[in-house]
Structure 1
Amino acid sequence: MIAGSCEKVNEMMHKHFLGFVSAAALCGLLVGCGKTAEPKAQTEKLKPQQSISLSGIVSSQLAPLTLGEKNYLLLASEERALVLVDEDGSEVASLDTGKVERFALQAMAAGNWLVAIYEEGRSEIQLYEIAREATANQPQFRFLGARKSEAPQVALCFSSQGGRNHLFSIDETGLGYEYVVQPREQLWSFSEVRPLYFGEQVSACAVDDTRAQLLVAQPPLGIWSLNADAEKDEERRVFAAGSRLGENFAGLWIDRQAGNLWLAGADRVLAFDLTQPMSEPVFAGTVASAELVSVARQGQALLALEEESDSILRLATALPAATAATPLSEKEIPRVAPRAQTEPVASAGDAADDPAIWINPRNVADSLILGTDKKSGLNVYDLSGRLLQQFPVGRVNNVDLRSVEHPRYTALAAASNRTTPGVSLFGITPAGEVDSLGLREMDLADPYGLCLFNKGSKTFSWVSDKDGGLHLAEILLGENPLEWKLSQRANVQVQSQVEGCVVDDERELLFFGEEDAGVWRLDIAAFVAGEGRPQLVAAVDGEKLVADVEGMGLYLNEEGSGEQSYLVVSSQGNNSYALFTRDGSEFVGHFRVDMNLDLGIDGSSETDGLEVTSAGLGAAYPQGLLIVQDGRNRLPSQAQNFKLVSWADIAEKLGLP
């Protein structure tokens, strides 16, 4: 059987491109490709204790649910769409018409249930609510909304994320989508979050919300595990190899209380510990001469359906105990929604990187956002996120700006350039016009991070070499701005890679992030005098600050000091933003940037650069603005961009003074 499975793998590889793993690797996932791999646990021969008759339903999926204190079974029907029966098989409610083979079921508030089906006759994914009818006190189906589908859907499953209902749907070609489904004025809406790519022969899916993992059955390969959260790396892994599952396995069902994943395959029933990927099953049984397609546990009863069945088998067996070591979900971090986002950058892949904010002295509503596209150049946006200008000056990585005294320009912006190693300079006029002033080379292998600071009338830059230290240089801008010079002054040796940095001009303090170590602080004046050394003020601890440490900015109140000033750091490893006191020594709190579904904006993750200002920028940003790079631009999936977050929302969520 295994050798045959390897042949099927190669055939599938010719039919469909599975970009995440090669055919040879897939064969390896089948445990040996040529050797049988029987479960160590003894396989029990299961005998039907009872057969519950289902008249005229023809079902291929079942799931238990409870309304009030009464237990029911929900059944897909190829003749009547959805049918709800009580424990003895008596029909309680149905949709009466429609052909349905797969559904997803999710508990809702107030004890009701959300159901998603693929209705073949209409080629639609449809949403229904199951609730008790108020007058008759009987369950009923209520239509919520629908979405047309170009291909038949073979797998549906729900996930609960941030108080939202997410629906995963996979079609017969192996193309899947994640949607957020939510109520609107009349019908529910489907907001596309991201696409997902599998191959042919997907048969079922389920989501383990405790561990936020999406599980997808794909015979003969096995069961895949992916991160259900679209703002995290996909991390596709094998949960169970196909050699252990029999043929045509499907009917994934999660026993959340016991922490087990159940599935059916031909004559086999298996259960796996959700905390132990690639482990032996905790339960294995066979039903003689059966073709099982769905299995679920209700109380102490194990229920199973045969293919296109008109009866439910109640199997006599001792069920496995609950998993003893079910881990808790990670500690919830407060979430703040963005108010706007920029247009996506032109380059695909990992491209957007670092923003800067220019405050227009004539009208704050006309302030600008500068953002790097590290594959092509610098972009200029307005506060609505609309792209105004593009400067194709090369692979600029980080950007920062400072005000200057000059006949033409009110501010200078500088960006580290990796195409020709050096610094690209830009001038900003009082009217908000941005000019490119050219590039000056530096003797660096790979300019990476960059931040500016002013000391009196002088402007300096700190530039990190990707494999070296931090280099201090003065920007000398003459009357002819195109003839500017870059004069190196000093350098700081570091132990590993540095990108994010920011300078507190008033206190002459440099903060820089050593990606795997934490945030360092350097007294610039003391260092230049030969006395100062960097101090690690905020170490990576895996909770408050998680490697990689990336972008950082300073939120300074109007007085430039006091309890309302903060160092903001991108904690890339857990997709959050950490606030520290102005000197970087004390942790204040952290938050994540979450979806704003009303505006159709996704959250942010894998953030590289950020910038923040305390300047009031209109009604949306009365206490200032935080801009963060978004490494995974979802809702739907597009090229990377930048998210705009109101500081007032952050302050309210974290209870800041």
Structure 2
Amino acid sequence: MTRYRTPALLGAALVLALSGPALTSTAQAASPHADAVAPVVVTTDNETPVLHDDEEGGNASGDDPAIWVDPADSTNSLVIVTAKEGGLRVYDLASRELQSVAASAAPRADGVDGRYNNVDIAYGFRLGGRTVDVAVVSDRYNDQLRFFVIDPAGAAAGTPLLEVTAPEQAFLFNPDREAVDEEHTAYGVAVWQPMKGGTFVAVTQEGTTRLGTVRLVEQDGLIGYTDVVTTTMPGSFALPDGTTWAPCEEPGVGPQFEGLTVDQRTGTLFAAQEDVGLWSVPLPLMKHTPATSRLIDRTTDFGIHDAWNAETEECEPIDPQDRGFGGSLLTADVEGVDLYYGAGSTGYVIVSSQGDDTYAVYDRRGNHAPLGSFRIAGTGGVDDVNGSDGLAVTNRPVGEYRQGLLVSHDEPETGSGVDPERDATNFSYVQFGDVADALDLKVSTAARNDPRFR
């Protein structure tokens, strides 16, 4: 979600830590952008067909992708994306559309047509006596999850997705339909399949700082969920200069989270708080307190005090000289998050920095040290990637992507023949090996690296 705001002065260097929600005093000595390095550039020549968020285009607005890897024949792997009121789209590795799934009414007595926001993949779920892979989707207009079994033939299937959502699933964050219609509802999603078993989903709530988890269960041959647990993350922060800072938001909206991914080995949830930064949160949430979480990195304008201007409907700095206590890799909004699994505990957390059209990379291990950033340039008639929302990455070789695949949302789509008067979005495919070469990262494509393929 893009939230427009006036440019603010960039904050301090990213090496600073948080102690709970308060910055340590070391922040006061940091110089602005001490560790900032220009992003490297990688290229793409593969993008999906354009989606248009207007009546003619079926109100389809691309948002979040997921990659389903076919373990038997990688050329049949799929890219599944959300298109909000336009439902889901399913693409092959050449970015050809294979299926369009409408955002139909949720299977409940008071169900309405859906708005599909984020998607992730659950592998190896037991359903009806067989093992299936499932696309898990957040439905904002019904404050619930929706479930789609993936045909094991993948791209070779006539209809790769089939909905299997059990009826009358509980609202995730709201007490009743009236509250749901206020639209502070299910937003970001990430599947968690811990080594001890079970399939869980982490969910965020639009417009608030709440995170939740549920456990997936079979219900009469369909999929539902139970054991809803929620927690509230910080929305304001004590700064070293003695002030307390909260990101400026439009009235009635809190500093929300959206992008999520879970390290399946460690149970660490990486969560993007759009105007704040990237968090690590230990799972399960029932053992969580804000003090057990850590803000890994902060947006560039973290700590800069803004005020909402009702006339311009923008946040504006109260003091233009305020330098804040921000990092240098993430420019709000912080959006998509995913994990590239390397050998053992190695690998990389990749985050889309929507505000400056770049992607930050962090070490999967330890304190998740920043390793650099990149941007995506188009070649061969494909446009540059702008304003990325969701992203997905896999270490597995899929088709021609022999060192892994990264898929990114692109908004606005500005390619040849795109009508600039229409709200156009799509998704671009990138060779992960190109990212690795540019940032001196290690590529490790073994299936055993990704614990979801156990």
Measured against the shorter chain, the TM-score band is 0.5 to 0.7
Matches within 5 A, 1:268-279: none
Aligned-partner Cα distance in 2 for 1:610–1:452 = 15
1:467 equivalent in structure 2 = 207
Indicate whether 1:399 and 2:119 are aligned: yes
Asked if 1 retains the 8 angstrom alpha-carbon contact of 2:52 and 2:60, the reply is no
Task: Supply the AA of the counterpart residue of 1:487.
Answer: D
Change (3 A) 1:560 1:368: farther
Q: Deviations over 1:306-354 (max 9, x none)?
A: xxxxxxxxxxxxxxxxxxxxxxxx9752211114111222534881000
Task: Supply the AA of the counterpart residue of 1:629.
Answer: H
Aligned-partner Cα distance in 2 for 1:453–1:331 = 33
Aligned-partner Cα distance in 2 for 1:388–1:431 = 12
Asked if 2 retains the 8 angstrom alpha-carbon contact of 1:462 and 1:473, the reply is yes
Aligned-partner Cα distance in 1 for 2:336–2:221 = 29
| 1:404 alignment partner, SS class | strand
Correspondence for 2:197 among 434, 453, 457: 457
Divergent runs of 4+, >4 A: none
Report the Cα offset of residue 623 of structure 1: 0.9
Correspondence for 1:502 among 249, 257, 261: 261
1:536 equivalent in structure 2 = 295
Asked if 1 retains the 8 angstrom alpha-carbon contact of 2:45 and 2:378, the reply is no
Aligned-partner Cα distance in 1 for 2:187–2:164 = 20
Aligned-partner Cα distance in 2 for 1:383–1:627 = 10
2:368 equivalent in structure 1 = 585
Matches within 5 A, 1:134-533: 332-348=38-54, 351-393=61-103, 394-406=114-126, 407-432=129-154, 433-438=160-165, 440-442=169-171, 443-444=173-174, 445-455=184-194, 456-468=196-208, 469-478=210-219, 480-482=220-222, 484-495=224-235, 496-525=255-284, 527-529=285-287, 533=292
Asked if 2 retains the 8 angstrom alpha-carbon contact of 1:467 and 1:497, the reply is yes
Q: Deviations over 1:552-600 (max 9, x none)?
A: 100012x3423xx10000011110000000046211011100021x2x1
Report the Cα offset of residue 458 of structure 1: 0.9
Aligned-partner Cα distance in 2 for 1:375–1:593 = 27
Question: Across the two proteins, how many residue pairs are aligned to each other?
Answer: 322
Aligned-partner Cα distance in 2 for 1:420–1:356 = 21
Aligned-partner Cα distance in 2 for 1:569–1:400 = 16
Correspondence for 1:604 among 385, 395, 412: 385
* Length-normalised TM-score, structure 2: 0.67
Change (3 A) 1:486 1:370: farther
* Length-normalised TM-score, structure 1: 0.47
Aligned-partner Cα distance in 1 for 2:287–2:328 = 36
Asked if 2 retains the 8 angstrom alpha-carbon contact of 1:352 and 1:372, the reply is yes
Indicate whether 1:652 and 2:392 are aligned: no
Correspondence for 1:571 among 341, 349, 353: 353
Say which one has the larger Rg.
1
Aligned-partner Cα distance in 1 for 2:153–2:131 = 9
Correspondence for 2:345 among 552, 555, 561: 561
- In structure 1, stretches of 5+ residues that fail to align are 1-232, 236-329
More strand by share: 1
Relative contact order higher in (CA < 8 Å, ≥ 6 apart): 2
Aligned-partner Cα distance in 2 for 1:391–1:650 = 32
| 1:467 alignment partner, SS class | coil
Asked if 1 retains the 8 angstrom alpha-carbon contact of 2:125 and 2:134, the reply is no
Aligned-partner Cα distance in 2 for 1:586–1:382 = 34
Aligned-partner Cα distance in 2 for 1:539–1:497 = 14
Report the Cα offset of residue 419 of structure 1: 1.8
